[in-house]
Structure 1
Amino acid sequence: MAEFSDQPMPRPPDEDVYLEFFKAKHMTKYLDDYVDLHIYKGRTLRDRIKFSIEVQSLLKLDSGWAVVTKSGENPKQHTFKTTKLIVASGLTSIPNMPSLPGIDNFLGQVLHQDGFGSSDVLTSPDINNITVLGAGKSSGDMVYEAAKAGKTVSWVLKATDTTGPGFFLSPKGVGPYKNAFEIGMTRLAANFTPSFMNGPNWWTKLLHSSSYGAGLMTGFWNSVDAKARTEANFQRESLQNFDKLSPHSPIFWQNCTGGLLNHPDFFDTIAQKVRIYVGDVDYLEKYMLCLKTGERIPTDALLCGTGWHPSLRFFTEEQRTEFGLPHLLTQEAPSGKRHWAAIEAEAEAKVLTTFPQLSKPPTVFCRPTTKTPYRLYRHIAPLSESGVASKDRSVVFIGQVVVGNYFPVVECQSMWVTAYLDGKLELPTLEEQEKDVALFTTWCQRRYLSNGQRGNNMTFELVGYIDTLLKDLGLCSHRTGWFKDTFFPIWAKDFRGLKTEFKNKYGYR
């Protein structure tokens, strides 16, 4: 599934594969080959990339955009001018580093997860004690690799204002499915989560709007939750505090981070070889991390699995407000607040009526909201008046959603974007667009709690989102017959021929 439809990915060697998951180096090789093998008018995609360029600001022009950049250490700025701007800077481009008092006195290495793979922390003989901050998948990966490398490993979980440790699920499949990811890429599984993108139809209404169906779905998700906790065996004997890795909230709500386990001995390794601490960082000194609990942890390398900042810093606060990007609540005009509050109140009533299960979230910590959610139509385009050319169509956003597999999503987004930018795609009225956005953001915040605050989380909605985009374009998303469309995973090969259909429909040559 990790491929685009126009270039199959060679299967990695068996020694690098576990339940069809493979080492990251093969993904790098695939993408390297992709940009070299795609040639348009005599130039490859690689020829069209400007490397080591940092976008500093964007200026809206009458005829498009001015993109102000700088290159490396060169202080001189360069400005690119363009009529169309596609922002595809991703959600994981800017590391979020925690505040570390005393870092100037620290003599060890400090790394974000972004630099872990290219570092020498696992091989350096000078690094014996490794401490990892964070409670999610990336932190777990670094902890595991450090422990397997024979290092003395400490894992520090935040004590206050936290959604708790992440959920780590077995990747094993059942029946014909080789792994859990394949199950999640079926329309059948997509229907097991309450979402407007799945219909609504008689089946989803039965599962999520009726008391019988809601009870059935609650039982299903509770069984998934219980199985994950049983497999982890958090109460087992351990080196220290293994039970502290138990998630604070049920898996259905996705209030914490999570991911699939890529190593069958992950929990056994952590329990036997890793000391786990729960406490907030107080300060660093020489080769020591000190917690506010008074505990002092010997540290030669401090690894921060602390997440990411949104990669939209080159937009001003005014531009973020104008285009429907997250912006500070304190900066929103009173009229705008009243406008969206009214639309969202109506949307929330619809959410809770359609999906009564979402009206009863667990009592857990939810991060305080400081910014508005994304308010992009179809999570791509700024809201505008209806019609194909009624307003400036010069900027779009690709990949600003949280999904489990970006390959089919950005492939469909790219066709939608092409038709939109060229004025070939008809949009509904502005009022309808606003209602659609408000319905998704209020649902997202109810469905995913802390992780839904930005209004762009589609952990279980990838299939429905793809269907929605292709329906907008008048293209068929059900491409393999009703049985396979329901029970089989969506593969990249299923979309072969889709680009040709798109080009023919919209008159591209």
Structure 2
Amino acid sequence: MEPQQNGEMYDLVVIGAGWSGLVSAKTYLQVKPAANLLIVDSDSSIGGTWSKQRLYPNLRCEAGWGYFHFSDLPMDHVGIESEGWIPGTAVNRYLEQYSTVFDLHKRMLLNTTVQSVQRDKETGHWQLDITSNNTTQTSIRCLKLIVATGLTSNPNLPELDRHLYQRPTFHSKDLGLPTTQDVLTGPKVDRVTVYGGSKSAFEAVYFLYLAGKSVDWIIRPDGGGPSLMTPLKMLGLFSSFDLNNTRFFGVFSPNPFDTTSLWHRLFRGPKRLAIADWVVLTFWRVTTWMMALSAGYGRSSNGEKLRPKLGYESSFWSPATLGVMTCPGLWDAIHSSGGLIRVHRSNIKRLTAGAVEIDKGVSLPSDATVFATGWQANHDIFPAHTRASLGLPSPSSELVNSPEELRWSSLRSRADHNIIQELPILSRSPPGWETASSCDYRLYRFIIPVSKEYADRSIAYIGFLRNTGLPIVLEAQALWATAYLSGELDIPDETARELEAARTGAWIRRRYVCGRKVPFALVDWFPYIDVLYGDLGICSRRKNSWLSETFSLYKSEDFKGVVEEWRTRNERTPQSSLKGASRLMSIRAVLLIIALVVCFGYIAVLVWSYSG
């Protein structure tokens, strides 16, 4: 698609053609089918992190088949591997199919980089300066803007001088390029350095191991440590996503979205049970043990160096992002005595000619280096002086001591104090939560800026909260954003929005160690979407009984038709709410007893399994 001539106006421009951007465009068009909408992306194919350019051999989705699709288009079984593994090619094909079914292709402008975004203060319109195919420069304008670039748009590379190295270096993003694969698997490369401890590092090591290369795997001792990699089948019995996609899994996770339920009063709130903290931490310690059992860390010195940083509390505090082990046989290769893989817990001090120097003066011969050092969000398209008002991190020296920053710092300090009163277990948070206020995302519901300067319903962000319920969460965010941009969703005033953004920000910093870099809600996505759908007047509890709601599996299909449901305001009401107040009190008394029996019985079984 070619951009319109300067002077013509789009109703909505979506930046990003990954999961977030596609569902945002589809949802907006479902509500406003006549909208003149454009999707812009810098890649030559859709998919974002799942675009064709980023796919490499043995790349698999962490979610099993049946868990990774939107509610109105199931993923077919073509290309799905044994045990339900979804290869990267199947994910990309699904997104292509999604775009075809909902007629999005004709609205896309690919191979197009957004260089800058500015807002005309007089008209309120947005102007995007874009470059197509790295040559043609032009501008497009729009009434409304959705930023769906997510939090994994730019490679995060360490500050190392590579001039003396004289060997090829890559980011894990580049592993999908044929030229990268040719270099790394070619005869000139024998020994490769991999730097990083996230899931992408495991995958890079696996790729090189299968290519028969010798690997020096370096993980910083002062970072978040290696990811806790859970098997697809925990204890060889059930899928890790069978847990993740049940509400019960989040019962023992303190969060600011559900503060009225029975679970909150029993285990998370200020008047919780006396043994509540012990119950919560025991649940997560045993869960971590189950996740880590297949790794067998104690089998080798390599394995010991891959132990999660916070031991059995790693799945609770999440010092590094959790991952699913999608590399069959990798643990055995890691533990193999005299094998191809050597793990080092060290920093890279410098790169020298054909070598990587780590701590204590150790020099490792190296023919190539892969930086599996994760991603960083790119907000440079917005002028630096506008980012804070837009709800984005703005570590500009000009803003650090400004009156607005000082006011926000005071606001977040009060929020931190209040969140500990609200969720007392967070007072135990590992050190390091005191991040600079300029690094905050100031987004109400993690979707819109809190500032009144941009409260004209012209901009929204989708995919700016990392979680493990991606398709379900993105559909909720897309509908919320569509309702907001359309003027059909009431929001509180600026003060209330600021207080809520400061509150959720304080929670993330205390709750998740890796959430101190980007917004993170690992297992708290159920209560989060409850809030979003609650704002929209939709019941997000889609099951027909309390037991089913708590323990049964949720899939995207449970929310099929939710857009039309919102459009017709056909709110689904839980049956129990129709029985009257006295009946409800009796039910609550029974549920209290059931909840106690279930929780302690569940923990007893886990502890018994652990001791056995």
The TM-score, its normalising length taken from structure 1, stands at: 0.89
Secondary structure of residue in 1 paired with 2:257: helix
Secondary structure of residue in 2 paired with 1:257: coil
Quick check: 1:326–1:374 contact (8 Å CA) kept in 2?
A: yes
Report the equivalent of 1:130: 192
Report the equivalent of 1:111: 170
Aligned counterpart in structure 2 of residue 276 of structure 1, from 343, 362, 366: 343
Secondary structure of residue in 1 paired with 2:388: helix
Aligned counterpart in structure 1 of residue 150 of structure 2, from 85, 90, 96: 90
- Cα distance, 1:237 vs structure 2: 3.2
How far apart, CA to CA, are the structure 1 residues paired with 2:375 and 2:400? 24
- Deviation track 1:261-309 (CA, whole Å, cap 9, x = no partner) reads 1235332211223111232223334432222432222222211101112
Quick check: 2:443–2:450 contact (8 Å CA) kept in 1?
A: yes
How far apart, CA to CA, are the structure 2 residues paired with 1:204 and 1:366? 23
Name the stretch that deviates more: 226-235 or 376-385.
226-235
Quick check: 1:190–1:460 contact (8 Å CA) kept in 2?
A: yes
Are 1:353 and 2:416 matched, yes or no?
no
Aligned 1:137-286 pairs, distance under 5 A: 137-159=199-221, 161-173=222-234, 178-209=238-269, 210=272, 211-238=274-301, 241-249=302-310, 250-251=313-314, 252-272=316-336, 273=339, 274-286=341-353
How far apart, CA to CA, are the structure 1 residues paired with 2:194 and 2:171? 10
How far apart, CA to CA, are the structure 1 residues paired with 2:518 and 2:346? 30
Report the equivalent of 1:471: 534
Q: Give % identity.
A: 29
Secondary structure of residue in 2 paired with 1:83: strand
- Cα distance, 1:357 vs structure 2: 1.4
Aligned 1:63-74 pairs, distance under 5 A: 63-74=124-135
How far apart, CA to CA, are the structure 1 residues paired with 2:125 and 2:240? 44
Quick check: 2:389–2:451 contact (8 Å CA) kept in 1?
A: no
How far apart, CA to CA, are the structure 1 residues paired with 2:306 and 2:137? 47
Counterpart amino acid of residue 3 in structure 1: H
How far apart, CA to CA, are the structure 2 residues paired with 1:13 and 1:71? 33
Counterpart amino acid of residue 51 in structure 1: L
Gaps of 5+ in 1: 40-44
Name the stretch that deviates more: 2-11 or 324-333.
324-333
Aligned counterpart in structure 1 of residue 392 of structure 2, from 322, 325, 333: 325
- Cα distance, 1:225 vs structure 2: 3.0
Count residues in correspondence. 488
- Cα distance, 1:442 vs structure 2: 0.7
Report the equivalent of 2:605: none
Report the equivalent of 1:42: none
Aligned counterpart in structure 1 of residue 116 of structure 2, from 44, 57, 74: 57
Quick check: 2:356–2:364 contact (8 Å CA) kept in 1?
A: yes
- Cα distance, 1:385 vs structure 2: 5.5
- Deviation track 1:334-354 (CA, whole Å, cap 9, x = no partner) reads 422342234333322332123
Quick check: 2:185–2:208 contact (8 Å CA) kept in 1?
A: no
Quick check: 1:17–1:23 contact (8 Å CA) kept in 2?
A: no
Are 1:378 and 2:440 matched, yes or no?
no
Quick check: 1:173–1:183 contact (8 Å CA) kept in 2?
A: no
Secondary structure of residue in 1 paired with 2:420: helix
Secondary structure of residue in 2 paired with 1:245: coil
How far apart, CA to CA, are the structure 1 residues paired with 2:78 and 2:275? 45
How far apart, CA to CA, are the structure 2 residues paired with 1:36 and 1:303? 35
Gaps of 5+ in 2: 1-66, 571-612
Quick check: 2:79–2:90 contact (8 Å CA) kept in 1?
A: no
Quick check: 1:154–1:276 contact (8 Å CA) kept in 2?
A: yes
Are 1:17 and 2:82 matched, yes or no?
yes
Secondary structure of residue in 1 paired with 2:241: helix
Quick check: 1:66–1:79 contact (8 Å CA) kept in 2?
A: yes
- Deviation track 1:184-231 (CA, whole Å, cap 9, x = no partner) reads 111111212011223332222201232222211111112223444554
Quick check: 2:405–2:438 contact (8 Å CA) kept in 1?
A: no
How far apart, CA to CA, are the structure 1 residues paired with 2:434 and 2:346? 18
Secondary structure of residue in 2 paired with 1:371: helix
Structure with greater contact order relative to length (CA < 8 Å, sep ≥ 6): 1
Counterpart amino acid of residue 379 in structure 1: F
Secondary structure of residue in 2 paired with 1:445: helix
The TM-score, its normalising length taken from structure 2, stands at: 0.75
